[in-house]
Structure 1
Amino acid sequence: MTQTDNAALKFELLQSDDFGRYLLRDRNEILQVLRQLIAKRSMVTAYLSGGRDFILTTVLAIDDDTLIFDPTPDELRNRQAEAAEEMICITQIDNVKVQFPIPGFVPTSFDGAPAYKVPLPDRLLRLQRREYYRLIAPVSHSLICQIPVPAEGGAPNTYEARVLDISGGGVAVVVPPEGVEFTPETEFTHCQIQLPEIGTVQASLRVRNLFRVTNRNGISMLRAGCEFVDLPERVASVIHRYILKVERDRNSRERGL
């Protein structure tokens, strides 16, 4: 079994302008997502305590108030999962990222075979499908969003934030380590993004959510999801043209052209 980089990311919602869109606490809503997970036999990455080690498993069934998991072929990992105080489960359902915490595995059986059980999670993070297609920033060139921030008694300070993805609706950026407050509903005007071979676009941004993202190497960063505010049609067209160009170039490389 293999694990993609996308599946290896752990998202922790820190702040959001609409918390309920992402974090579910209602039991019926959580059950609905978990049943979809079982029906699609989605692979689950369960991070062990500390976040560096993980196991790959699947949810086999829901039995009353417990989840039944498939054990891994690696007995050492199984023992670690039994000893863990908490594990963070990450998966995807139709390209929607899902995350929920569970305690350590408890041995049981399912359909006559060894299995593990845990209580149903009391909360579940679901990153819903986006309205706009989002382009992951290409590795061939970095995208930087220049964010002017007013300074007392002088010209605005300009901070550079690395763009993680971009669409006609907004961008996700790495939050600068200091000097800029990123909280939901904060607006930044006159932001600029240089799109290689296309041109520079200027737009206002409104912060919608803030996540802590940790990769499988344990490296974490703060990710801010921002939407464009009153984006002119001509600017949206420039962004769309850039996305199409990057996708076209990427497809050509994959075909060896």
Structure 2
Amino acid sequence: MEETDVQGQAEKVAVRFEIERPDDYGQYLLHSKAEIVAVLRSLIQRRSLISAYFDQGRSFLLTSLLKLDLEAGELVLDCGREDKVNRLALLAERVLLTTTVDKVKVQFTLGKLSETQSGGLPAFSAALPDKILRLQRREYYRLSTPVTKPVKFVATIRRRDGSALLAEATLLDISGGGIGLMAAPRLAALLQRSDILTDCKMTLPDEGLLVATLCIRNKLDVTTRGGARYVRVGCQFVALPGARMTMLQRYITRVERERKARLSGMA
């Protein structure tokens, strides 16, 4: 579809962006300069196609990130195909950029664009963003954890009489929204829907220790082909900080790449 055709459709539809709703998506915002630069560099390496919206989301152009100048605190973007749209973008006070990388939504806002050149071709430059949204929710992707490198879960659970129990379990799956625990029936009986578990520790192989607060959402009885029984306990992350979300997403992306590489080698 041509950029001008897509733009005509965008003018008819109200565009809503998660980065503009911090009350709902604040946990997915990155504020660390090192994390922001890492995300921007990944967009350059992958040559990701980015939609740049302006005029309150009524107009946009397609672009890509070309390079970073950390000393100047600037980034350089490719121009769109239409000169008229490029001129309108230069008049905008702010531009909101959105793309998807490995099923992770990435959004950031830039201030006023300036004209520049890159490789002898027209381009845009702008100051580096002060925050980036990286959104990977359960509906985007849920990773089944590798059997060969299981993710262990440890947390202190309070029994109904107030006594403490050091609970251990293995993760069945993990996503940006939460985890699925493989719990023995005796442990699952202590976990009730809407219970909050604090200081939960999960060691992500080759990444590090992930500490999180979890809310119990659901339980499902499972019987294996061999007749063994366990309970899948679905848990949701509660206000997971941006740095920990970044580590989690890095783990999910790496494991999925390794899995695809193995499958390709077997084909």
Task: Provide TM-score, normalisation by structure 2.
Answer: 0.48
**Higher helix proportion, which one?**
2
Q: Whose radius of gyration is greater, 1 or 2?
A: 2
Q: Which has the higher strand share?
A: 1
